[in-house]
């Protein structure tokens, strides 16, 4: 009676276009992260990002999405996701998650990174590092996963195993399928669940994006109807990549090396889409 939303499976040629979109996005995020310095406004980061998309002939999938007014989300300190770029000038010690997307010939990419401005606080470095590693643990799990839910289980197991103060995994905001639209089925949970999700098979493309916080999991949305903040004011981090499953293996579409440098130590060798049998 209640059917799950249909998953869009891609051909190799379609995933190759998504790789092009991912590489444009990677270059745009490179520039935006490099520009995240003391005194720079979040609106200026958005301008830098948009400039790269224009140079590359790509378009933003964030701008205008349900009315969103910018091409990236800039979430600073206790802002978790969906922060709107504006006239806030970055301060020494800020932590900022920059989330963006690009469209090339109708195919989407989505990726996010966390940066620390100026002098880092050790606890913020740990937060970002653990979130990033959790992302790669989830991607590595996808390489041998039977079900999409195996990704969240791997992320959850890793985060809960990290020594030191516990970090929380947000459950209200999750990853998603990606392709002809930015957000598609299936949901990609960042935690262990009895819902295993659909089976993993060639043609599946996912945006995996763990979001971790230093405090409680309760969040609220600000009056701008977009910016999500932690209720206790504790800081947050987000890391994200778009990943393709193909006949030969997996490939991280939004990483220039397909994820090889981070997946190798985890025992996974990504296979370029060009080498698909």
Where is the binding site for a divalent metal cation, in residues? 99, 110, 176, 209, 240
Q: In 3D, which of 39, 196, 10, 2 has the Cα closest to residue 118?
A: 39
Sequence-ordered list of residues with C-beta below 8 angstroms from that of 107, at least 6 positions apart, any chain: 14, 17, 18, 20, 21, 179, 180
> Which residue ranges make up the annotated binding site?
82, 99, 110, 176, 183, 209, 240
- Among 182, 196, 199, 183, residue whose Cα is nearest residue 153: 196
Secondary structure letter of residue 5 according to DSSP: P
For residue 127, give Cα distances in angstroms to 30, 207, 242.
20, 20, 21
- Helices 149-161 and 122-142 pack at an angle, to 10 degrees, of 150
Burial of 69 (0-12, 13-18, 19+ CB in 10 A): middle
Both structure tokens of 165: 């103060």
CB count within 10 Å of CB 276 equals: 17
Q: How many CB atoms lie within 10 A of CB 30?
A: 15
Task: Output the known binding site for substrate.
Answer: 82, 183
According to DSSP H, which parts of 60-218 are helical? Answer: 122-142, 149-161
């Amino acid at each position: 009676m209640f059917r799950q939303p249909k998953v869009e499976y891609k051909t190799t040629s379609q995933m190759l276009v998504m790789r092009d979109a991912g590489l444009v996005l990677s270059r745009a995020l490179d520039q935006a992260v490099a520009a995240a310095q003391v005194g720079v406004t979040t609106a200026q980061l958005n301008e830098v990002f948009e400039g790269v998309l224009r140079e590359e002939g790509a378009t933003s999938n964030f701008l205008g999405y349900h009315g969103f007014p910018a091409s990236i989300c800039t979430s600073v300190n206790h802002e978790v996701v969906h922060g709107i770029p504006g006239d806030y000038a970055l301060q020494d010690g800020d932590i900022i998650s920059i989330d963006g997307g690009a469209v090339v010939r109708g195919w989407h990419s989505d990726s996010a990174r966390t940066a620390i401005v100026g002098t880092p606080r050790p606890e913020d470095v740990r937060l970002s590092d653990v979130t990033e590693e959790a992302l790669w643990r989830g991607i590595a799990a996808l390489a041998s996963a039977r079900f999409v839910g195996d990704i969240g289980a791997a992320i959850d197991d890793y985060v809960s195993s990290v020594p030191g103060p516990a970090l929380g995994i947000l459950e209200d905001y999750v990853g998603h399928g990606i392709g002809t639209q930015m957000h598609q089925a299936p949901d990609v949970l960042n935690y262990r669940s009895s819902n295993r999700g659909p089976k993993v098979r060639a043609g599946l493309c996912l945006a995996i994006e763990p979001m971790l916080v230093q405090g409680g999991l309760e969040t609220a949305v600000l009056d701008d109807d977009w910016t999500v903040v932690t209720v206790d004011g504790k800081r947050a981090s987000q890391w994200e990549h778009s990943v393709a499953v193909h006949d030969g293996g997996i490939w991280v579409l939004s990483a220039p090396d397909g994820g090889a440098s981070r997946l190798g130590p985890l025992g996974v060798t990504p296979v370029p889409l060009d080498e698909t049998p």
